[in-house]
Amino acid sequence: MIGKLQCVVLDCPDALELARFYHSLLGGVVDQPDPRWAVSQDFSTLHTGSGLVFAFQRVKDFRAPQWPDSAHPQQFHLDLDVPDLDQAQEQVIGLGATLLHDDPRGWKIFGDPAGHPFCLLKG
């Protein structure tokens, strides 16, 4: 092993807005004091209950991914297990997500408020 994951950083147009979106999705603490990062208008963090940390950095000329358009690649995506896909869909849409694809094989692909794709799978 060369190293261990410190956090996952997502570019976006509004760091605090996206941190709050993922807080509603995953729980945890937004902008928890941590000597590794200085939060600001341009940088927010989410410390999840599992110990995983997400960071969100504002990019002035952010270009949102457009799944599945390779001209605007997805850059990354998250897979999240949920107990009830329909209930989870209603919740994430209420938080500002957009349904991108309802796969007949049993998962749903959404875009977060900044356009990053994430998948909900029955877990």
**Could you tell me the domains of the chain?**
8-58 (3.30.720), 78-122 (3.10.180.10)
**Whether the predicted pLDDT of 1 surpasses 70:** no
The more confident residue out of 79 and 94 is 94
Mean pLDDT, to the nearest integer, of 82-109? Answer: 93
pLDDT tens string 75-92: 777 888 899 999 999 999
Q: What's the pLDDT score for residue 105?
A: 81
Please say whether the beta carbons of 67 and 102 come within 8 A. Answer: no
**Considering the chain, what is the average pLDDT of its residues?**
91
pLDDT tens string 4-19: 778 999 999 999 999 9
Is pTM beyond 0.85 here? no
Based on its alpha-carbon atoms, the radius of gyration of the chain, rounded to whole angstroms, reads: 15
Q: What percent of the chain has pLDDT over 70?
A: 98
**Whether the predicted pLDDT of 2 surpasses 80:** no
**Whether the predicted pLDDT of 53 surpasses 90:** yes
